[in-house]
Amino acid sequence: MSDLEKIYGVHAVEALLRHHPKRVKQVWLADGRSDPRVQPLLELAAQSRVKVGQCERREMDAWVEGVHQGVVADVSPSQVWGEAMLEELLDRCEGPPLLLVLDGVTDPHNLGACLRTADAAGALAVIVPKDKSATLNATVRKVACGAAEVIPLVAVTNLARSLEKLQQRGLWVVGTAGEAEQEVYQQDMTGPTVLIMGAEGKGMRRLTREHCDYLVKLPMAGSVSSLNVSVATGVCLFEAVRQRQAKRKG
């Protein structure tokens, strides 16, 4: 079992059973857990012939760090996609793609929240650099509430080079920076767009910033100077969603 990961939480385990059942080797429920919330999960496990066992809740507490909700699964290792997958996704994309880049986001909670928001906004993929970035783990999957099993997470070796390739394919790169003159609401994001969010505090790295076609900011009226990166990501992505919906209706 040492080559397996433990994924926990009702939504994360249910999403794995729904989208990647072959990765799930066993599902564990806390003793006495058979309420309606886990019934869809149990039905999916039965359909895929995945074993379901029971164990004491305190044993689960020792397995994982976090709120497991009495549901833990033993699964094969996480899948992080490479640049070839990104090219394939773009080739198959019918409308103007929307990509999210997280430059230096190392907190797994923020990565999970960003994956969840990106999936809700209809982003094609989330791109991260291989170095100095959070990657898929149990915490990310729990926070993402199933989105980590749906939206591709693409890790690239050289982010600046990857941005150049995307620009060559006709995508416009929009970076976020507190000192930008233009607000995100003034930026046209109805076309093929790459939205870059930098790490909290540090923002985008210099080389990443140099590859941006546009820089935008969020208007800050209060006493704080910045938002949590996952919150800012949600605001920016759904501004792109709003613009795209308005253009389709117009």
Tell me the binding residues: 198, 218, 227
3-state secondary structure of 228: coil
Question: Within its chain, how far is the Cα of 118 from the centroid?
Answer: 6
Strand partners, 30: 55
Binding-site positions for S-adenosyl-L-methionine: 198, 218, 227
Q: How many angstroms separate the CA atoms of 224 and 181, rounded?
A: 18
Q: What is the dihedral of CA 168, 172, 119, 145, to 10 degrees?
A: 90
- Residues 140, 108: contact at Cβ < 8 Å? yes
State the burial class of residue 248 (Cβ atoms within 10 Å of its Cβ: 0-12, 13-18, 19+): exposed
* Whole-number CA gyration radius for the chain: 20
- Residues 218, 225: contact at Cβ < 8 Å? no
Strand partners, 117: none
